[in-house]
Amino acid sequence: MKPPFKIAIAGLGTVGSGVLQLLDRQADLLAQRAARRIVVAAVSARDRRRDRGADLSAVRWYEDAAAMAADPEVDVVVELIGGADGIARQVLDTALDHGKHVVTANKALMAHDGTRLAARAEERGLILAFEAAVAGGIPVIKGLREGLAGNRLERVYGILNGTSNYILTTMRESAHEFAEVLAEAQKLGYAEADPSFDIDGIDAAHKLAILASVGFGRPVDIAGVYAEGIRHVSRLDIDFAEELGYRIKLLGIARLTEDGLEQRVHPCMVPRATPIAAVEGVYNAVVAEGDFVGRVVLQGRGAGAFPTASAVAADLVDIAAGRHVPTFGLHTANLREIPGVPIEGHHGAYYIRLWRASM
């Protein structure tokens, strides 16, 4: 067997703890699949005393995650801090500068800076892996990039934010109001640090921009995504939708038209009989339509410690085993610009609720 593959983890919150537990409990299985052992050599987190459900006594602790990213003993840096700027970006840049592969769950950073980071990794012959950044435990990046490589995609869409889907589902099923359900989602560890990212469609927009890049072979264009969340969806709308035979879902949609690429996130009424209407709670679903394969639906848990850890582990096994494809499926020089279609250019059906105030 090859020498152990040494990893450093930056950020030990919900997902980081899940990754530690998975690596511990599945150590033998992962070693077989990667043909070498995957060991945690270093970690960086604010609170050393918190119980993360795994033994960290033999692991090097760093106060400074960027310093850890330069650790000469480490083969790959796993970034689980989050955020488009600041320390997370510094960790990735430092790791790549020091010749280390990187695995990240950071959708905001990949959406804003993914093309540059991919080019930087390529220049140095390194791998930038990000399965955990989109749709939690669903292998959607690998599914689109590798599984559907024989197709031209026409449309990729889906439920990309578990918190919003959980809120919409729970509001429909229970008598609870929006704020109460959001607080529950936060307690369950689904919501972002800033929950407006979930409920205003920003998190789904990040994921959609990444999917559009993988699906359509274009540079990531977060500025071209129209984002509207579920803040204004009321119980009344949910009840009316039900009466009309629909469910309200927050969808992210990327669609190639004659005019260019539409990228939009907004609440949609989907017919109750369609598979996507049945995707409830924290579950996500991604639908891809290819010219040879037809329609493919991938569904699973889109948030939470263990599903996201499952995606991180898959990336680690690939890298440890030496498997590698370009970050977005194509060398960055071959990603092609596709003009964006603004939301004003979108033609579609609308649901309008008129409310007559009593005089």
- State the residues that interact with ligand HSE by CB under 6 A: 136, 161-163, 190-192, 198, 203, 302-303
Shortest spacing between CB 318 and ligand HSE, in angstroms: 20
Shortest spacing between CB 115 and ligand HSE, in angstroms: 20
Shortest spacing between CB 53 and ligand HSE, in angstroms: 20
Token duo for residue 111: 């959406």
Would residue 207 show up in a list of annotated catalytic residues for this protein? yes
Token duo for residue 36: 């070498």
- Residue 215 or 302: the one with the smaller Cβ distance to ligand HSE is 302
Surface-to-core class of residue 330, CB atoms within 10 Å of its CB (0-12 exposed, 13-18 middle, 19+ buried): middle
- Residue 40 or 133: the one with the smaller Cβ distance to ligand HSE is 133
Surface-to-core class of residue 104, CB atoms within 10 Å of its CB (0-12 exposed, 13-18 middle, 19+ buried): buried
**CA trace torsion 200, 206, 208, 212 (10° rounding):** 150
In angstroms, rounded to a whole number, what is the distance separating the alpha carbons of residues 157 and 136? Answer: 15
In angstroms, rounded to a whole number, what is the distance separating the alpha carbons of residues 57 and 43? Answer: 11
- Residue 77 or 303: the one with the smaller Cβ distance to ligand HSE is 303
Shortest spacing between CB 136 and ligand HSE, in angstroms: 5
Residue indicated by tokens 């905001």: 108
- Residue 136 or 340: the one with the smaller Cβ distance to ligand HSE is 136
**Which of 227, 220, 182 lies closest to 204, judged by CA?**
227
Shortest spacing between CB 235 and ligand HSE, in angstroms: 21
**Among residues 6, 100, 107, 207, which one is catalytic?**
207
Contacts of 210 (CB under 8 A, 6+ apart): 107, 110, 111, 114, 130, 133, 134, 141, 220
- Residue 161 or 170: the one with the smaller Cβ distance to ligand HSE is 161
Token duo for residue 358: 């009593």
- Residue 12 or 126: the one with the smaller Cβ distance to ligand HSE is 12
Q: Which amino acid, residue 230?
A: I
Distances, alpha carbon 313 to alpha carbons 15, 20, 22, in Å: 11, 10, 8
Shortest spacing between CB 111 and ligand HSE, in angstroms: 12
What Rg, from alpha-carbon coordinates, does the chain have?
21
Instruction: Supply the residues annotated as catalytic.
Output: 207
